[in-house]
Amino acid sequence: MTEFLELVGRGLITQNLILLQGLGMYALTRHTKTISGALKAGVSMLAAMLTAGLGVWFLSALAIPESLSFFAYLVVASLAAFLWQRLLEMPDSFSGGLMDSALLGMLLLMGRSYITGFAAIGYAVSAGLGYLIVLLVIAFLRYQLQLAPIPKPFKGVPLVLITAGLLGMALLGFKL
């Protein structure tokens, strides 16, 4: 149980996909313009990650050689993204879709730390929740900053990156 909780904490905080791994930058800058948009992007990614976690669980039963695991993860991530894009009727483009670096990066992190079996699902859900929470927090901060007197060059992406960087530095404290 303690190990499982530690795994969940890793996905949520100490290996947070956006803030501490630098993955999913596209969603961070584009999908946080409104809180509802961030919620939609985060929840659909959570669903895709859960599906990908289930896929990894099935994969561990197949005993795939280590040299092929990257391609196996690529297939699992593409299938999970495609499935949810179809179910949620999202556009079939890269910019509107779910196939982003956070999904594939999560699977690769899983593979690197040898998380397989049922633990893969727990890690996938906690990583997805961490992704969702960060998107919501950044969207809320952007909403709050709309009326702030920000210099023109800093408006938009630069301010989002600096905000996310400062949040990430705060989370770095949990890694020690």
Partner 1 sequence: MLHSLERSATVSEAAADAVGKGVGFAIALVVLGVIREFLAAGTFFGAVVLESQLPLFALAASVPGGMVILGLLLALYNAVTGQGGELSD
Q: Which positions touch partner 1 (CB under 8 A)? A: 19-22, 26, 29-30, 93-95, 151-162, 164-169, 171-172
Q: What is the DSSP string of 88-115?
A: TT--SSTTTSS--HHHHHHHHHHHHTT-
Nearer to partner 1 among residue 19 and residue 59 (C-beta): 19
CB of 91 to partner 1, least distance (A): 11
Residue 111: CB atoms within 10 A of its CB come to 18
Nearer to partner 1 among residue 118 and residue 174 (C-beta): 174
CB of 95 to partner 1, least distance (A): 5
Q: Which two tokens stand for residue 3?
A: 């190990």
The CA distance from 137 to 135, in Å, is 6
Give ∠ CA 1-174-138 in degrees, rounded to 5: 105
Q: Which two tokens stand for residue 164?
A: 């996310």
Nearer to partner 1 among residue 41 and residue 120 (C-beta): 41
CB of 129 to partner 1, least distance (A): 19
CB of 25 to partner 1, least distance (A): 9
